[in-house]
Amino acid sequence: MDNYLNHRWPQGPGVQPPPVPGWPGAELRPKKKSSPRRWLVPLVSILLVVSLLGGVCFWAVNGIASMLSQMEPALPDDPRPWVSRHLEGGSDWSAGDLPWGDPDPSVSLSAQPVGPAVTGREAYDAALPTLVSVETAHTNPLEGSVGTGVVVERSGYVVTNYHIIEDSVKIRVGLLDGPGKLFDAKVIGFDEAFDIAVLKFDPDGLDLTPARLGDSDALSVGDLVYAVGNPMGYLTGSMSMGIVSALDRELDQEESRTKGALGLIQIDAPINPGNSGGALLNQSGQVVGITCAKITGVVREHGEAIDDAVVLEGMGLAIPISDAIPFINHILATGESWRPAMGIQCAADQIDGRKGIRVAEITADAPKEAGLRAGDLILTANGVPVTTLAQLRRVLYRTGAEGELTCTVLRAGEERTITFPLMDSLKQD
């Protein structure tokens, strides 16, 4: 197959490349003798033109140099020059080094039903005012992170990825469509395993536009989606388009920053460093996901890189917004993370062709006292059929750590209904 390295011109009339003098196929014409008069006038004309151009070029070069001396470079040598201006170097870091803000239980988010389809331009125009750049500084003044955040409340609450603020001691945000002003931001709370963080900044009189949150449960493979963010930290407001490639995608637990996440949304819309924490939009322009990662071409085995020659394209990932909302609301209300748990060890399985979640071991008193037994096959949880661990976790997270779980289980060919309270595994010894 021909490619740009070994291209061959197609054969036939009218498709041959133009002849090049000195090469086969070029027409050779005899040289004509020229008299001094014939070349003297053109030569004088050329010299006059060159003299004029020299004067113009001298003026132009000096003018441009003067203009450039008054301009800031678009891409400074250090893409984060503010880090060294504001912070001293250090070595040790803890979450306590972050600037912390107080939670606000009055703020609560909810997903809206899917709205009418809009054009890509309309989706972009609606989303851009709801997005911010996120810049962080570390204890090491040579380090820092850049990413994107989604404004979810008019008073200045922002949702982003935890890995952007990890190891940071200073956080600043700036509206992607704003005047370029950066605002100091505080951390309300985060969930490291779910890769979610909630920030708060003072808009200082600006009328913020909160994002319209959609229903990620309504997504299907093949749906058109848009990713909007801040790739590379300076390509502000970039938008890319793709489709939903897969749903409920599980990452390798050793490699994933979203170990606690449920099934992730896989997309083929290009995303790059700096897109993290940005918005994944549906065809209605609603935020249905928080972009968080992309699958690279490094093959790993037991955490060790064994091959980096594999070329992978179009494999981005996003946290479903309907899954993230319960975590965000809990952080907004308490400033803390949580992890609802049943108190069992289990795995996806099937009995007599019926799929569900088989209970391998019971590790807490509540489900045991309610009548749950090892070997039971959980068919539904709070009325929702569950055949994968992601589906079961989704029910748990949306129920909450203080809620009750009602399970339909299959035991010895008979269905039973068992109800017991959930626990917060993060508060267990």
Q: Report, as residue numbers or ranges, the catalytic residues.
A: 163, 195, 276
> Encoding tokens for residue 22?
């000195």
d(CA 50, CA 330): 73
* CA-based R_g, the chain, Å: 30
- 3-state percent helix, strand, coil for the chain, nearest multiple of 5: 25, 30, 45
CA distances from 53 to 46, 47, 48 (A): 10, 10, 9
Cα separation, 418 vs 377, whole angstroms: 12
Nearest in space to 269 (alpha carbons), one of 288, 292, 244, 298: 244
Identify the burial level of 278 via C-beta atoms within 10 angstroms of its C-beta, where 0-12 means exposed, 13-18 middle and 19 or more buried: buried
N-to-C CA span, the chain: 63
Residue 413 backbone class (left: φ over 0; alpha: ψ -120 to 50; beta: rest): left
Q: Are 329 and 323 in contact (CB under 8 A)?
A: no
- Which whole-number Å values give the CA distances from 336 to 7, 101, 232, 238, in the listed order? 61, 12, 30, 32
Cα 379 versus chain centre, distance: 34
What's the gap between Cα 331 and its chain centre?
20
d(CA 315, CA 293): 9
Among all chains, which residue has been given the structure tokens 């503010």? 82
Distance CA 178, CA 230 (A): 13
Nearest to 225 by CA among 264, 270, 283, 271: 283
Torsion of CA 65, 70, 73, 78, to 10 degrees: 120
Indicate the DSSP class of residue 87. -
What one-character-per-residue DSSP string does 50-67 give? HHHHHHHHHHHHHHHHHH
β-strands 340-341, 168-175 pairing: unpaired
Strands (DSSP E) contained in 261-376 are 264-267, 279-281, 287-294, 299-301, 304-307, 316-320, 340-341, 344-351, 354-362
